[in-house]
């Protein structure tokens, strides 16, 4: 049977067509034994293997056999049922991955932007529940500084002198602080701070414009604005709260888990049975 170019299966009335090598990914599994005719659970009817199991869940098992990864849609919830199907087919590496349910479920991500205007300066502080998102955003934001002769907030363009990049303040892995605008230095000199947010290449000095670009960037990255409020009425600190749903991660089996040895299979089978 393994000499065929393709193999057809009817699982719970759902038809699947695949190559024998896909079903042989794990030689100790029941699907591999099916091809050799060594498992009476699988009946050969009119040239197709009939399996009285859940056909919808079997599509995820086929995807795992083809990619050696578990990648589930955000609204998937049948983890226990899918794990039982994996155990039925004796695909224990898949059953172990499905045991990491917390990694496969979508997660809600929260991000907060605080904005404060003071004379000709604007101050920003960004908090995020996911440190990698904050890190990515920090890589997109650039602050540059330079001196302007007698020009203030109203100057929309940087001077001809080279601007000096400033590092963002990172109080922790989950937040960042920066500012823009102009500050009187000495005499008629102003220190100006511009902000650029990739992929936009503009250098903005007006705090309201920077806030608008920042919000637009977050919305394009899949965040939703869920609330706005004033945190401090005295200082007029505005707070903008965003959230988005992170797609579940794709989990892969370790290289030493495939192909499986009999000892590895028996050890995993024992652990799975104990966990029932």
pLDDT at 270: 45
pLDDT at 63: 94
Domain ranges of the chain: 7-105, 108-149+160-246
Q: How far apart are the first and last CA of the chain?
A: 34
| Second-level CATH architecture of 108-149+160-246 | 2-Layer Sandwich (3.30)
Q: What are phi and psi of 136, to 5 degrees?
A: -65, -40
Q: What are phi and psi of 140, to 5 degrees?
A: -85, -25
pTM for the full predicted model? 0.60
- 7-105 to CATH, choices 3.40.50.300, 3.30.10.20, 3.30.710.10, 3.40.50.360: 3.30.710.10
pLDDT mean for each 10 residues of the chain (276 residues): 78 94 93 87 88 94 93 85 96 90 81 92 95 94 81 51 88 95 70 93 94 96 93 82 82 58 43 45
pLDDT at 88: 96
- Domains 7-105 and 108-149+160-246 are alike in CATH topology: no
């Amino acid at each position: 049977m393994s000499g065929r170019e393709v193999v057809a299966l009817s699982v719970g009335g759902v038809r699947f067509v695949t190559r024998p090598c896909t079903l042989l990914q794990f030689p100790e599994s029941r699907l591999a034994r099916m091809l050799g005719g060594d498992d009476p659970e699988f009946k050969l009817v009119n040239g197709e293997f009939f399996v009285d199991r859940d056909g919808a869940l079997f599509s995820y098992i086929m995807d795992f056999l083809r990619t050696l990864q578990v990648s589930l849609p955000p609204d998937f919830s049948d983890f226990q049922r899918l794990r039982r199907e994996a155990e039925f087919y004796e695909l224990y590496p898949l059953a172990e991955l499905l045991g990491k349910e917390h990694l496969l479920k979508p997660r809600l991500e929260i991000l907060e932007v605080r904005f404060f205007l003071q004379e000709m300066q604007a101050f920003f502080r960004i908090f995020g529940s996911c440190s990698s998102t904050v890190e990515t955003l920090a890589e997109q934001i650039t602050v540059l500084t330079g001196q302007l002769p007698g020009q203030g907030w109203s100057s929309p363009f940087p001077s001809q002198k080279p601007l000096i990049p400033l590092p963002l303040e990172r109080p922790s892995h989950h937040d960042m602080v920066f500012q823009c605008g102009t500050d009187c230095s000495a005499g008629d000199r102003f220190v100006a701070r511009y902000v650029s947010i990739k992929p936009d290449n503009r250098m903005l000095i007006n705090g309201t414009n920077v806030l608008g670009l920042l919000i637009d960037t977050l919305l394009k990255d899949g965040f939703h604005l869920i609330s706005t409020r004033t945190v401090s009425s005295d200082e007029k600190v505005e707070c903008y709260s965003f959230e988005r749903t992170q797609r579940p991660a794709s989990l892969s089996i370790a290289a030493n888990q495939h192909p499986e040895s009999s000892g590895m299979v028996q050890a995993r089978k024992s652990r799975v049975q104990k966990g029932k």
